[in-house]
Structure 1
Amino acid sequence: MGERIGVSDEEWALIGPLLPAERGRGCRPAQDNRRYFEGMMWMARTGAQWRHLPDEYGKWNSVFRRYRRWVATGVFDALLETLAEMVERDATADMIDSTVVRAHHCAVGIKSGLRKLRRLADRAAASPPNSMRGATEKADLSASS
């Protein structure tokens, strides 16, 4: 179902201790945080539905429940803050944020399309009404001013 998206052992050495220890529910033991975290990364990277999560990351519902639990308890916010502090202390490390990544000039906006829409709106406002109802509404508006 696509290439495996995972973290290296070096990356996991930084991330693993920052994640909460999971204990099993009922009589089942908890699964490995790394496997579930990689499943969450697969979901973030592919944008697929949870049900399409490959089996190698665990049952989709288990990964989803753990993801929701971590979101609710602020695990990802704390992880981001901790990693940002580590980057500030380490001069050789870099962190990329979407605010510093420049988009291609085509992705900036639809400037020509906006001008065309504005011109159409201006032309519609200046044109005479096409029906008797439009004429009476325009007359009522001008009389009330």
Structure 2
Amino acid sequence: RNFLISRYGPDLELKHELKDLEVALKQAGRNVRPYRDQIQELRSTRNELMSDLKANREELQTLNNLLKNTKDKQKRQEITSDKALLLLRRDDLKSSLLSVDNDIKNAFPEYKVLREIRIGILSDISLILELQSQL
């Protein structure tokens, strides 16, 4: 390789460097992809949980309003029972949301580092292409 570089000049060296960086870029992309996909999936799950929590809150509000306006003891008991189930469901949703938030927080630093590596490689490639255009 050094012989070829000495014979054909710096342009050949840049081509080899570019080829090495292109291989590194492909590998960096493969390294980033699983984290990116995992984070996207977790965010989607988080959005669903938030939507479920909102619906739960609205149902609880409806039951509270019914409870205020109901005098029948039997009906009040049924509403209170339904409300207790909704409160349990809300606790489950909040617990799941906390778990998903922790999973996102744990996956994000590794993703960020790998993404920065990939960005650095892209920067090096553009620098080499610029150097090649000047030769």
TM-score, structure 2 as length reference: 0.27
Bigger share in helix: 2
Give the greater-gyration-radius structure (CA): 2
